[in-house]
Structure 1
C-alpha cells in the first residue's frame, strides 16, 4: 500500500502570528502547501494513514480554530429555482436576497426545517403565507416568541 499524503486545511485564530503557525506545523510534522491569508488558514499535507491523529492533534492546539480534510465538494445539481410567478422579473428584492438559490436548497432539504422570517413588512394574513406561519411575533417581543 502506497504511503500517500492527505491535505488538511488548518484555520488559525486571527491573532496567531506566522511564526506561531510555522511552529505548530513543525510540531505536527506537517508540510505547508499554501497559505490562505484572508481566512487565516493554511493547507498542509500529512501522511494519509494517520489523518485521524493529525485532525485530533491540530484540534487540541489552542492556536487552531478548526481543521478539516481538504476535499472537493460536489454540487447538488440544483443552483436556482425560478418560480412560475409571472411577476417574478419585476421583484428585484428576490434576486437581491438570492431567493432562487435558497428555494433550490429548500427543495432538496428536509421539510422539517423551521424558517424564521424577520421582516417588518410581512403580511401575516396573505393567502400564500397565512397557513404557513406558526408564530406571529412583533419585533419588540421577539424574545418572548
Structure 2
C-alpha cells in the first residue's frame, strides 16, 4: 500500500505509563491497602464526608486519583490506631509518591491533549518527543516514528 501505518498515540502512552508505574507498585499497593482499611465501618463513618477511592489496574488515572485522595485525606487519618499505623506508608514512600504525582502532571496534560479534535501528527510528535525527553523510559513505547 505504501502508506505508513500510524498507531494510536494515546494507547502507546497508556502502555508507557503502565510500565513506568510498575516501579512504584509497592508504594501504590500500600496506599491501596490503606484505602481498603479506611472503608471499614468505623473508619468510613469518621471519614464519611471525605470519600475514598480505590485503583483499577487497567487504568492509570484511577491510580493517580487514589494517590491524590490519599494526600488529601492523610490529615484526617487516625494517628492513634495501631492497625492503621502498621499500614501507613513510610515517609520515604510518601516522598516517592509526591515525586510521581509531579511527574504525572505532564503525562496527564499530554494525554488530554491527544484526545482533542483537530490534533495533527506533528502536534502528537512534538508532545510525545517532549515526554521522551523528560522520561526516557517512555521511549520504548512512544518512539514509533523512528521505525518508519
Q: Would the TM-score normalized by the shorter structure come out above 0.5? A: no
Larger Rg: 1
Q: TM-score, normalised by structure 2?
A: 0.21
- The structure richer in strand per residue is 1
Q: TM-score, normalised by structure 1?
A: 0.22
Higher relative contact order (CA 8 A, sep 6+): 2
